[in-house]
Amino acid sequence: MTDQQRRDAIARALDAVEARIAKACVAAGRARSEVRLLAVTKTFPASDAALLTDLGQTGLAENRDQEAGPKAGEVRLLRPGVQPRWHMVGRLQRNKARSVVRWADEVQSVDSVRLADALAKAMSAAHEAGERSGTLDVLIQASLDDDPSRGGCSLPRLGELADHISGLDVLRLRGVMAVAPLGEDPAPAFARLAGAASDLRRNHPEASELSAGMSADLEPAIAHGSTCVRVGTALLGARGLASP
């Protein structure tokens, strides 16, 4: 596939995803501006991320530190003028915190006090090294299935973790993220998530983001209040294959 063909394919896919989001917003009686789109570029090359930014898509997401750091660097070289906003949405080990704060503007997968502490320590070190300033935006990843292998904080413990993060001055709590459980209708799971997020906002009004919905389930997520959909396959194609 030539660059132009790839660009056209991604442009068509982006139009189709935009149309789905717009329709879901209308159906939910919500404004399109309430929902941001993150393009999940994991497993796809930096050239695809660069093409997405050419098409106006500046919210990009990755799930592995080892892949994302070099890719963000490559995109910087390919498109020196643009500043995409990079989001970490995958499971994160504490020993990767120092590396993640070198490329991520936002970490959506914070699911423990220990990880929050590691990110805060990494941010302080990055400040001292002159690598970045300000705060790191974070979302708490909530578990909708209580499956420890998939990560996430159980819904009853969201409040404790939010209280802890609020005490770390280099992190800025922005909201909650979740992935729908496997093999279950996503709508009731997103409804549970929306309830827990709304409870959390009573003490943490700043936690206003609800990151939910992927290629297969963005409509029920938007119906249940998602403010951020994370879409990979529907934009870039099946992972491991070259085209959408």
Ligand X SMILES: *Cc1c(COP(=O)(O)O)cnc(C)c1O
Mask of contacts with ligand X, 84-103, x by CB under 6 A?
Answer: -----xx-------------
- State yes or no: residue 43 binds ligand X (CB under 6 A): no
- State yes or no: residue 143 binds ligand X (CB under 6 A): no
Q: Which member of 36, 201, 233, 244 binds ligand X (CB under 6 A)?
A: 233
Specify whether the CB–CB gap between 118 and 136 falls below 8 A.
no
Q: How far apart are CA 65 and CA 232, in angstroms?
A: 17
Shortest distance in whole angstroms from residue 44 CB to ligand X: 10
Q: How far apart are CA 38 and CA 59, in angstroms?
A: 5
- State yes or no: residue 179 binds ligand X (CB under 6 A): yes
Alpha-carbon distance values, 47 to 10, 80, 88, 162, 242 (Å): 12, 13, 19, 37, 12
- State yes or no: residue 51 binds ligand X (CB under 6 A): no
- State yes or no: residue 231 binds ligand X (CB under 6 A): yes
| Cβ distance to ligand X smaller for residue 101 or 231 | 231
Sequence-separated (6 or more) residues with CB below 8 Å from residue 152: 111, 141, 142, 143, 144, 178, 179
Q: How far apart are CA 138 and CA 174, in angstroms?
A: 6
Q: How far apart are CA 126 and CA 100, in angstroms?
A: 11
- State yes or no: residue 230 binds ligand X (CB under 6 A): yes
Q: How far apart are CA 144 and CA 224, in angstroms?
A: 14
Shortest distance in whole angstroms from residue 59 CB to ligand X: 12
Which residue number has the CB closest to ligand X? 232
- State yes or no: residue 7 binds ligand X (CB under 6 A): no
| From 27-35, 95-103, 123-131, 208-216, span contacting ligand X (CB under 6 A) | 208-216
Residues at the site binding ligand X, with contacts judged by CB under 6 A: 40, 42, 63, 89-90, 179, 214-216, 230-234
